[in-house]
Structures are given as C-alpha cells and as structure tokens.
Amino acid sequence: MAKYASSPSSRWLLQILIFTFMFKVRAQLPGTWELILPNAGIASMHTAVTRFNTVVLLDRTNIGPSRKMLPKGHCRYDRYDVVLKKDCFAHSVVFDLQTNQIRPLMILTDTWCSSGQFLPDGTLLQTGGDLDGFKKIRKFEPCEPGGNCDWVELKDVELASGRWYATNQILPDGTVIIVGGRGTNTVEYYPPRTNKNGAVELKFLADVKDNQMDNLYPYVHLLPNGHLFIFANNKAVMYDHESNNVIGDYPALSGGPRNYPSAGSSVMLALEGNFSTAVIVVCGGAQYGAFIERSTVTPAHGSCGRIVTTDPKPGWEMEDMPYGRIMGDMVMLPTGDTLIINGAQAGAQGFEMASSPCLYPVLYRPNQPVGLRFMTLNPGTVPRMYHSTANLLPDGRVLIAGSNPHYFYKFAAEFPTELRLEAFSPEYLSPDRANLRPVIEEIPETVRYGEAFDVLVSVPLSVVGIIEVNLGSAPFSTHSFSQGQRLVKLAVTPSVPEGGRYRIQCTAPPNGSVAPPSYYMVFAVNQGVPSVARWVHLVP
C-alpha cells in the first residue's frame, strides 16, 4: 500500500482529487471575483470613490518608478527620492469605472501614510505624509470622466503639526478633524479654527502609546450625538470636539493592540431608527511584540469586540472571526452587513512584516445572534497584504486595490507589488437575485436635513415588504481603515405601486451628527438586494 501511495501516478491522482475538491468548495461559497484592470500603473496605498463614479488611487511619491508616466513635460524634482531626483512617473491616477481607463495625476509632495476625507462640496481633502509632505494640505476637486482635474497643493495654509499616520473625520458642520499621527498626540481642524491656537493636545493618544507605538491611524467615528469615538491601541474615549475635551472613557478591549502597526479594522454599524444608538465593531490585529520582533509568523488575532457606545454602561461583547486577520479592511455594504477582506493571518504591519495571506473574505451579519454572525465567502487568488485597500462602489461591488509590502516596487517576490484592480461581488449581486434588484428611476439631486422626499423605483418582480433607502458615504480607505465611513438607513414608508413603478416616501437625516453634509451614494435595497446607487448631495 505504501509503495502504491508513493507512486507518481497516485500522487498525480491525489492532486487532481484535492484540486477538484477545492474547486467545488470555492464554487459553493458566496460571492464572485473579477479582474477589472490588469495594470493600474501604481499600487494604491490610499483609495477614494468620487461622486462622478471615478476612483482616486494614490501611492507615496518617493518610491522610485511606477508603471505609469506623467504627461510629457510634467516631471517633479524630489531631493528626498533616493532613486529619482527627476521623477516623471505618476504616483496617483484617477480610474474611470465606466471605461476602465486610467489617467495620471500629479502629486508634488510625499503622501506616504497620509490621511483624507471628502468635504461637503465633494472635494477630497488630503493631509500630511512624510518628508516634504509632513505638513502639507492638498485638494482634489473631482470632475466628469474625461476632465482634467488634478491635485492642488495649498500654499496659503499648512497643518499646525506635521502628521504621518493620522486619521481624518468630517464633523457635523462640514469641517474636518485631523487626529494624531506619529509623534503627534494632538488634533487640529480644517479649515483652521480661528479661535483656537492650531493643534490641541489629546493626552489620550500619548497614554495609550506603547514601545511599538500601536496608537497610529486611530479609529475615529462620528457618533450621532455629535461626539467622537476615538479608539487607539486597545482603549477608547468619547471626545467633545467643540470643547476639545475627553468626556468619557470606555473599557479596554481584550486581545492586544488593534491599531497600527498591529491594526485590524473597525466600523460603526448602520445608523437607523431614531439614530440614538451607535454600535462600533473592532476586529482582528497583530499580537503585541510581532512588530518589534519583526516576526512574520506570529498568528494574528481572530477576535472582534462590539460595543454600544451610546449605552450608559457600555461593555465589549466578544466574538471570533473564522480566521485570524491583520490588515483586513471592513467595508459597510448597502444592506448594513460588513465585508471583511484583504490582509494576512500572521505578522504585523510594515515592510516585509507579514505572511500567510488571508484570501477568504468574511461577511459580518450584525443582526444575527453571537456565533452566527460570520459567513465565509469565496476566496480570491491575489494576496492583498500591507498597503491594500477596499472601497464600496456605486454598483454594489467592492473595489480591491494595492498591496505593496516592499519599500520600492518589487515584482519578483513571494508577495509582489500589486498593480491589478479587482472587484468582489457579494452574493446579493448573484444572477438568481437579479429579478429582485431595484432601479432608482427618480430621486432628488439635493436633499436638506429633515426634508421629506420621494424616491421612485422599478423592480422586475412584485415588491413584497419594505424597500429600504440607505445612504452610504464615500470614505478614504488606507491602512485597513476607511476614514469617514458610515451607512444611514432612512425612515421610509411602504412602497406604493404607481404605473409600473413604486413610490417610497423618505425622510432625510435630521442633522449633521447623523450624516455630515456631503455627497452620498443612495441605495434602494429590496429583500437584501441593493440598486445601483445614485449620488445625492445632503446639505443643511
């Protein structure tokens, strides 16, 4: 028997059986993958979707040659770049979702590990970075596909403190708070507050710092009460941005550090009902010590903590993912479920610091009981490690970009620099649900707080039950956290048939604490199947 088992033909047969088994397992798991673009020209470290259905991809500048040239005559000179002093390569591009075409953008100063957020008028605010970008403020005012919009680096204003690994969050009045950064235990605002002296100390960030940092890229969520939930390392506070004071402390989350360089990810679950309750989930992370020991094999955390931040006596409810995961991205889907995707199962964040890519996405279903909330989905084939991103698209797919665990671009490696753009389609986009998918036929382009408005939709099959109308923000995705991400479920009435379509009466969010002024993707969701979104401008 041993001789037979070791023969070449038997080994070949065993491999065929294993492959056949794995293929069947993959085919039975929900979700599908597709390659959108084989070469985006850059490895996207930061990604954001604009209201024109284009996507801004942004890397760092002092990384040497990318795979996309700038237009002729548009070179930059960088004394910090050890490879290219005269740099004629693009380090940012804009991607057109309709044509799958990319256009190079010109970024002048270093955007390595920077932060960003959309302003109320749809302009992308981008702040900080390293070296000559440390105190820079940049803007990208998106335009229609085919336009010539490009990055603008502001000359009349700069950050009060240099910020590297900071987090941005739009506030109820449309201004932006910029929190933390390496060696920067402060907050500041854009536009700068005239009655404040630049940066304001946030001692909490210094208190939670350990000898491998673990307080970078803090998780910042705007709560519906107008205050901020700020999480760093394994602790969190409620922060009053009006008075610049910590007004509440939360219990520590067990399981070790959760922020860079040990980051998992975090989301605030969908706001709904009377918008008085906010639930935060934090999942995954590296074990303490993996970073300073440069251990690529130390298993990642598989635990998640869930907390009702608005509860008088909040506490963490613990549960376990199917896989340990570091550097995973948590993406709020139009349905209110969360997709957990990308990352590794061992190591820490940093160059050459992780192994065992986590190819299996996981769906987190918040309304299920503990123990039944996680569903394993169809695995991808492309490792998405350090410096990868995930963003919800208006058609309900999730765009997957980036992965560069190397200091420069390196393609001959176990985990190479990744230029491919992929899309993951959740199960709600499967062909057997196409007859449930609504189409938004009419919707206002602009809606004011508290305003009642109608949405007209069509659906192939007769509607049974309530059609939800949900607002999804367009966050800035970087380093396993989507800055400014939120989903708001509007109050709606039952749909009324009207000439082959259905009319839904909706009420806009009551104020900027529930949904800050901005452009939102508005989805109609019928029995868990979302429409293609329409962009709506929410204004005071």
Task: Give the CATH number for residue 482.
Answer: 2.60.40.10
Strand partners, 299: 346
The pLDDT of residue 232:
98
Same domain flag for 234 and 85: yes
Q: Domain containing 329: what range?
A: 32-429
> Is residue 132 packed enough to be buried (19+ CB in 10 Å), middle (13-18) or exposed (0-12)?
middle
Please name the residues in contact with 492: beta carbons below 8 A apart, sequence gap of 6 or more: 466, 467, 468, 469, 504, 505, 506, 507
Same domain flag for 442 and 421: no
Which of 429, 460, 477 delimits the end of a domain? 429
Which of 394, 429, 464 delimits the end of a domain? 429
Please identify which residue in the block is written with the tokens 């940012």.
92
Q: What is the 3-state secondary structure (H, E, C) of 350-381?
A: CCCCEEEECCCCEEECCCCCCCCCEEECCCCC
Confirm whether 372 is domain-assigned.
yes
What tens-digit pLDDT sequence spans the chain (540 residues)? 333 344 545 545 544 444 444 444 566 999 999 999 999 999 999 999 999 999 999 999 999 999 999 999 999 998 888 889 899 999 999 999 999 999 999 999 999 999 999 999 999 999 999 999 999 999 999 999 999 999 999 999 999 999 999 999 999 999 999 999 999 999 999 999 976 668 999 999 999 999 999 999 999 999 999 999 999 999 999 999 999 999 999 999 999 999 999 999 999 999 999 999 999 999 999 999 999 999 999 999 999 999 999 999 999 999 999 999 999 999 999 999 999 999 999 999 999 999 999 999 999 999 999 999 999 999 999 999 999 999 999 999 999 999 999 999 999 999 999 999 999 999 999 999 999 999 999 999 999 999 999 999 999 999 999 999 999 999 999 999 999 999 999 999 999 999 999 999 999 999 999 999 999 999 999 999 999 999 999 999
Same domain flag for 382 and 526: no
Same domain flag for 394 and 440: no
How far lies 430's CA from each of 37, 100, 365, 434, 444, in Å? Answer: 21, 22, 18, 7, 29
Are the beta carbons of 61 and 111 closer than 8 angstroms? Answer: yes
Q: Which of 254, 251, 240 is nearest to 301 (CA)?
A: 254
Same domain flag for 249 and 185: yes
Confirm whether 8 is domain-assigned.
no
Same domain flag for 445 and 410: no
The pLDDT of residue 25:
52
Q: How many CB atoms lie within 10 A of CB 319?
A: 18
Strand locations in 13-155, DSSP E? 32-37, 46-49, 54-58, 76-77, 86-87, 92-96, 102-105, 115-118, 124-127, 137-140, 151-153
Confirm whether 56 is domain-assigned.
yes
Which of 406, 429, 452 delimits the end of a domain? 429
Same domain flag for 370 and 510: no
Are the beta carbons of 289 and 298 closer than 8 angstroms? Answer: yes
Confirm whether 175 is domain-assigned.
yes
Same domain flag for 122 and 142: yes
How far lies 354's CA from each of 106, 187, 286, 357, 472, in Å? Answer: 31, 31, 10, 8, 32
Instruction: Provide the number of structural domains found in the chain.
Output: 2
The pLDDT of residue 17:
45
**Rounded-to-integer distance, Cα 171 and Cα 168, Å:** 10
Indicate the pTM of the whole model.
0.94
Same domain flag for 342 and 364: yes
**Using the 8-state DSSP alphabet, how is residue 9 labeled?**
H
**Using the 8-state DSSP alphabet, how is residue 214 labeled?**
-
Confirm whether 440 is domain-assigned.
yes
Confirm whether 423 is domain-assigned.
yes
Same domain flag for 147 and 43: yes
CATH code for the domain in which residue 206 is found: 2.130.10.80
Same domain flag for 370 and 450: no
Q: How many CB atoms lie within 10 A of CB 95?
A: 25
Same domain flag for 356 and 281: yes
How far lies 62's CA from each of 86, 353, 379, in Å? Answer: 11, 20, 33
